[in-house]
Structure 1
Amino acid sequence: MTGTRDLSVVIGLGRSGAGAARLLQSLGDRVVVLESRSDAELERQADELGRQGIEVHLNHGLDTSDILGLGPQLRRLVVSPGIRWDHPVFEALRARGVTVQGEVEPAWQASRPVPWIGITGTNGKTTVTHLVQHLLSSAGMDVEMAGNVGQSAAETVLRRRASGEGLPQWMVVELSSYQIESSAAVAPRVGIWTTLTPDHLERHGTLDNYRSIKRRLLERSAVRVLNADDPDLRAHAASWDAATWVTAGARREVAPGIEPDLWIEAGRVWCDRDGQQCDLMAADALAMPGSHNLQNMLLAVAAGLEAGLDGPAMERALRHFPGVPHRLELIRTWQQVRFYNDSKATNYDAAEVALRALEGPLVVLAGGQAKIGEAGPWVQALSRSARAVVLYGQARELFWQRLQEGGYPGRSESCAGLDEAVPLAAALARDLGCTGVLLSPACASFDQYTDFEARGEHFRRLVAEL
């Protein structure tokens, strides 16, 4: 019996890889997981999957012959997002007729015919994903949120298929560039593109390549929702044959060639539906700070309209939105100083947005694993809003250099990690008369943490212990 089943090989025993392995097994495949590392936690996961009938090989590198040797029934290779899509082994397997796909694609195929709302962008996609899920669920719809936030799409689909509930009405899925480039079949009912600034260039090489990957998701979407306030998206507006545009400003102030379908005037959100302008809701319905969150709100509202929601229902839901963990999240007020967790800010642009959104003066904690990008505007924002910057982690020497080159006038301190940085930032806030301490790293977390969520939770614990 084993020999007659299709073989799916999953590369990477992360959260998404394990979810994909379980889903494929539930669909009848024989599944083998290959993981290049080994530690106590991976061994525990391997044992658990082994008890479920999934074969796991730890300390196993990528080798074409080894993978082909796993069985003649090899039909599919599922790749975790952290592995380069153009790896030579994957190219060799494609040439042999093996389907190579990302971990999102099995979830897409197993969730047919559920409509997806796919959300991508350099910054803002997590907030928009949470907002869309909140709008739909507040209206009584059965909706699941998954992808690059919370549970993986495969884990979510597996859970729903195994439950008595069946599949949901909607899937709201955050998708990174890594996931999009490896999931060519995913074609959402609604695609949302929040922003585009340089990111992940160490993986994608050029901004043009990064942009083209993001664009593929929208091109495959039945409805395309785009942010007219983003300079890069606006600059390429003429290349779209059909799109729904939103702006947090007045309709007449948008660049020529763009006719926004959602806009804000006189404190109200307006929409254009089939040539009819209508007053949809109050523009202050969402309490999150910053003009970028008005853009995020409008992108989510556009998805809500496509799902059949009306303005009053969405306004009520937005007024009760609890916020997004790790994104400008107010953790605590201690000795009149507010502590904000913005661990999701993993690049310069996201960190700059946070600085614009909050009233200063601030003490900012920044550091981690640095990315390729333009640091100048971030340093300028620090110069305006931060009286002190506490640098930590692998990037602290590089960031020190960036601050000096950019003429940052405030105080700079350096620490190994957050254990020392948080109490130091609290003391600096008191001594310098600052109103807030902001963790906004402008870096990936992988030098010291498994992901940005783990970094944010560590910050939360340290702030609670002050």
Structure 2
Amino acid sequence: MTKENRYQGKNVLVLGLAKSGYQSAKLLHTLGAEVTVNDAKELENDNEAQELQTLGIKVISGGHPANLMEDSFDLVVKNPGIPYDNPVIQKALKQKLPVITEVEVAASVMEASIIGVTGTNGKTTTTSIIHEMLNQKRVSGSVYAIGNIGVPASQLALSLKSDDDAVIELSSFQLMGTPTLKPNIAVLTNLYSAHLDYHGSQEAYEEAKMNIMRNQTSEDVTIYNKDQPHLERLVKENSNAQLLPFSRKEYLENGTSVKEGNIYFKGEVVAKVSDIFIQGFHNLENMLAAISVAKLKGVSNEIIQEVMRQFHGVKHRTQFIGEYKGRIFYNDSKATNIEATENALAGFDQPVILLAGGLDRGNSFDSLLPDLKEHVKALITFGETADLMVEVAKKAGITQIKKVEDVTEAVPAAYAMSAVDDIILLSPAAASWDQYDNFEIRGDIFIEAVHNLINLDEKDL
């Protein structure tokens, strides 16, 4: 069976439209599958749903009919955000139907070399850096950053050629439905506790992450963060690929690491740590992971150094917004967990006014104490976790604390508490869903509030 005809004649249910459902439905239709799309939302006036219907794809919207699973489906392609306790998914599993995600369909028909990137934090930044490093002065083929970074893999799956590179950012939600995914290079940036409300346990979350390497062979490579012993153990238990560790803490003869201000790849000096524009030890780790990929793909040290100096970060991920009257503003709205905020705070030497708070998932914030004590001079907090943030800030000895309604109010409050050379940092340590539809909207509102602050202040001069 060739890649192109593995879905020929299959009866496929795509559950959930959104971007990934829309693109996977089109891809499956092109591959000769009989496709039905089902979404709980009403899609009568949805342009994408209407386009699918024009192609001959059946669209059922406004709920999940009780008789939906009575059709003889061969498999279900699930939107990654839909939990496995969804009634349709439960029925599919009882019928022993394969339940996969969109990226599995795309990867199974893709001709390009696949570089899969996952981890609790740093996925998008690392994916973006790899894309930049592989894209400079490229001799043949092209490189594409796809997947969880925003472009569904199935949108480009059939257009990629054998000399192309597909750098695919992979979330744990996506990886749960990837039984045959086999990246040529798998990258694991780090592994912390996250998404337990979705996965149910840390063990289940880790099990999903390990899917990125389970089908690899000795011809493939797994790149991982050696500074996390638990992650290293899991990698060695689950990967049959060549292992390439990276470390910012110890020098590695057979890996990518740091020594005396230099970055080494297998004993060769590649660049200086000072070449990195973006701040923070977490971004150093992201850079080490990306350099590992770049060196495996034959990228020159000169190009690597150039990208290190020119890469200014990804939007909403410790994103430099600007400087005003000696205050420096950073947007780290993507910090939807405590570890991400710890990493952001550890990257600054100047005093920080921290803007934090969001969805209450029942977590304690006590692990933030060391970084709060060392880096934070004032806290502005909002959202469901505001009281918890106040409590931990008091434990850290922070005396300047203010609760506000939302991010819009937080910015002028932070500025009022700040002094020259202070960092004003949005790094919520929590998801956005209590007040905002996603972290991108939260970050955009922060950026707008910063610009409004500057404009209003200038008008008062």
Moved more, 316-325 or 218-227: 316-325
Written as runs of structure 1 = structure 2, the 5 A alignment for 1:4-403 is: 5-38=9-42, 43-61=46-64, 65-69=66-70, 71-72=71-72, 74-85=73-84, 87=86, 89-96=88-95, 98-111=97-110, 113-140=111-138, 141-157=141-157, 160=159, 169-221=164-216, 222-234=220-232, 239=237, 242-251=242-251, 260-272=254-266, 277-403=267-393
Shift of 1:48: 4.7
Q: Shift of the alpha carbon at 1:295?
A: 1.6
The SS at the match of 1:378 is: helix
Matched, 1:410 2:377: no
Q: What is the CA-CA distance between 1:93 and the residue it aligns to?
A: 2.0
User: Shift in Å at residue 455 of structure 1?
Assistant: 1.9
How much has 1:368 moved relative to structure 2?
2.1
TM-score using structure 1 length: 0.86
Secondary structure of the residue aligned to 2:197 is helix
Q: Secondary structure at the match of 2:26?
A: helix
SS in 1 for 2:74: strand
The 1:91/1:358 distance shift into structure 2, 3 A limit, reads same
State the secondary structure of the residue aligned to 1:101: strand
Aligned partners of 2:379 and 2:393 also within 8 Å: no
Partner residue of 2:451? 464
- Residue equivalent to 1:256: none
For the Cα contact (< 8 Å) 1:418–1:459, is it kept in 2? yes
Deviation at 1:176, TM superposition (A): 0.9
Taking every aligned residue pair, what percent have the same amino acid on both sides? 30
2: distance between equivalents of 1:243 and 1:356? 28
Provide the TM-score with structure 2 as the length reference: 0.87
Which whole-Å CA distance do the structure 1 matches of 2:223 and 2:74 have between them?
35
**d(CA) in 2 for partners of 1:19 and 1:347?**
30
How much does 1:145 deviate? Answer: 0.3
Aligned partner of residue 151 in structure 1, secondary structure: coil
Query: C-alpha distance in 1, partners of 2:346/2:94?
Result: 49
The Cα shift of 1:309 comes to: 1.9
Task: Structure 1: state its 5+ residue gaps.
Answer: 253-258
Matched, 1:429 2:430: no
| Alpha carbons 2:282, 2:344 under 8 Å: kept | no
Say how many residue pairs are matched.
439
- 1:107 maps to a residue whose letter is A
3-state SS in 2 of match to 1:229: coil
Distance in 2 (alpha carbons) for counterparts of 1:393 and 1:45? 34
| Matching residue of 2:4 | none
Residue 358 of structure 1 aligns to a residue in which SS? coil
* Residues 233-284 of structure 1 deviation map (CA, whole Å, 9 limit, x = unaligned): 24657646651111123427xxxxxx64122223222222xxxx33333333
Contact 1:122-1:194 at 8 Å conserved across structures: yes
Deviations 1:379-411 (A, max 9, x none): 33123222221212233234334445x444232
Pair 153,236 (structure 1): closer, same or farther in 2 beyond 3 Å: closer
Q: Indicate the RMSD between aligned Cα atoms, in angstroms.
A: 2.6
Following TM superposition, by how much is the alpha carbon of 1:86 offset from its aligned partner in structure 2, in angstroms? 5.4
Identify the residue that residue 3 of structure 2 maps to in structure 1: none
Taking a change above 3 Å as real, the CA distance of residues 336 and 281 of structure 1, as seen in their structure-2 partners, is closer
What is the CA–CA distance in structure 1 between the aligned matches of 2:372 and 2:406, rounded to whole Å? Answer: 20
Amino acid corresponding to residue 193 of structure 1 in structure 2 = L
